[in-house]
Structure 1
Amino acid sequence: ALDCGACGGNEGKPNARVLAMMANNPGVRERLAKNGIDIPSDTHFLAGQMDTTTDEVRLFDLEDVPPTHRADLARLQEDLKEAAELTSRERCGRFPEIRRPLEGPQAESHVRRRSSDWSQIRPEWGLSGNTAFVIGRRELTKGLDLEGRVFLHSYDYREDPSNRLLEVLLTAPQVVAQWINMEHYFSAVDNEVYGSGSKIYHNVVGRIGIMSGPWSDLRLGLARQTVMNGDVPYHEPMRLLTVVEAPRLQIEKLIARHDVLQHYYHNEWVHLVALDPQDRVWYRYRPSGEWVPVSVDVVQTQNHT
């Protein structure tokens, strides 16, 4: 419904299609192999785009899928359909006007209707409610219900001896997550000052911004309906918590190398917690540059499939 704020309101479809075409090109794979990146010969890349208002994932260029992969494609499409149904059911429970749980077709029908209703002021909650950013192996969060509030990035420190991947994750995706977090934070703290007020009164001005009603200054931040449920905040204004599974010494080197990380952690705009694989102890990074052990209760979870 909102496209991508980090991409200037654009969609990612062209990028996904181009990347898939490049990755399927034998010449590109040959060059990658010379640089130590070996893509299995039976791997076929497929571009897709998720509609966050309906939870559907649309796949592109299916005519290029080889016959040997048609069965895999059919399984993928079934899995995506099942995932969409489960996600729709979960999201419907968060909409304020839904008084009882919606199951299967009911949830799917509701989100579809909601996505195409021009009178709907809240087609989705979007990223409202975001609280944390996790960089680590899937085992860290597998089986946990994080209620759609956490950005997850799969990362294995054992496969990143140079820390190059970790550096990219901390200086690119985490930066975007912090932007998102702060935009929601300030829009929830004082929506009239840092947000844009009710979208009911919004008017587009010269394709450069919005104003409230027939006159006002250009409005900044998020609409009231994005972060508020009536008069009650839906988004909790919390500074981002970044959780990293990696050696503390390697994280320290990256912090020392990048001013943006020092700004985030030393000024506590982002809280940093690390799980050090050397001793399997959780540590919190303090503005002074020290690591302080923290007690973490281990929650036993059962993964239902």
Structure 2
Amino acid sequence: MEETVKPFSKLYNLTKRAEKVGISDEDVLKEIFIDKIIPNKYQPRYEFDDDKIIELADSIKQNGLLQSITVRELDNGFYELIAGERRLRALRYLRLETTKAIVKELTDEQMATLALIENIQREELSPIEEAYAYQKLLEINNITQEELAKSLGKTQATVANKIRLLKLCPKVIDAISTKRITERHGRAMVKLDHTVQENILHQILTQNLNVIQTEKRVANYLDIKENNSKINSLNSNYDAQKIVSKFLKEISKLENQYGINLEKEEEEEMSSITLKIKIPRYKERK
């Protein structure tokens, strides 16, 4: 019977390899043309500091490339980058034609997992980029947050808190990505509707609110929302005309019980209904 490898096992093995994306027995170190290398479609980083790329290029020019980029060979003669986006950008900045690269044989799933883990472990991702990377790993490997956290040596709370950031509206996500607000500012707003998030974001930016002040604003809003919800819930069951009808039914019962006819007058206004009942002090004799 063929043994099935669980997704978590595969991820764990790749995590071990990603601790150092270097050459192993089954890999090949090969001189390849730089213009034949295409970007990694699973690259979690969206922002690259041009000044740091230039600094890295100057270092490569002076000292050479200390760690080769990692790629996998495609069927069309091109290579897909697995790890080393900044190094590749620096090489292109230097307008070099070729570079030595570590060529690995990986499936799409393995390549995506290895690329994402390698970036996470370098701790160069923004909170939003890291959140997207975690989400992608969960989808690709079909594992739980607990399994992912264990395989990366992180707590489940860390993984969950990062992924929760993806519930934020685009404007808040952009503000975190561009470092106009912190990750903690963002986490404080996760429970809010997107429209309210944008409102709170505006307050943070215009009033220079710190995290504690932001958390208080959010808590106040949620308290008000809860109170309004309770009031609305009560109002949704309230019907003045039904109350009047119930009163009249009870009065009708009393009339039958005592054999009397009471004078009733009902006046309706915009804000209320007035019910007047005239009860004789003594019962008339027939």
Q: Same fold (TM over 0.5)?
A: no
Q: Which has the higher contact order (CA 8 A, sep 6+)?
A: 2
Larger Rg: 2
TM-score (norm 1): 0.22
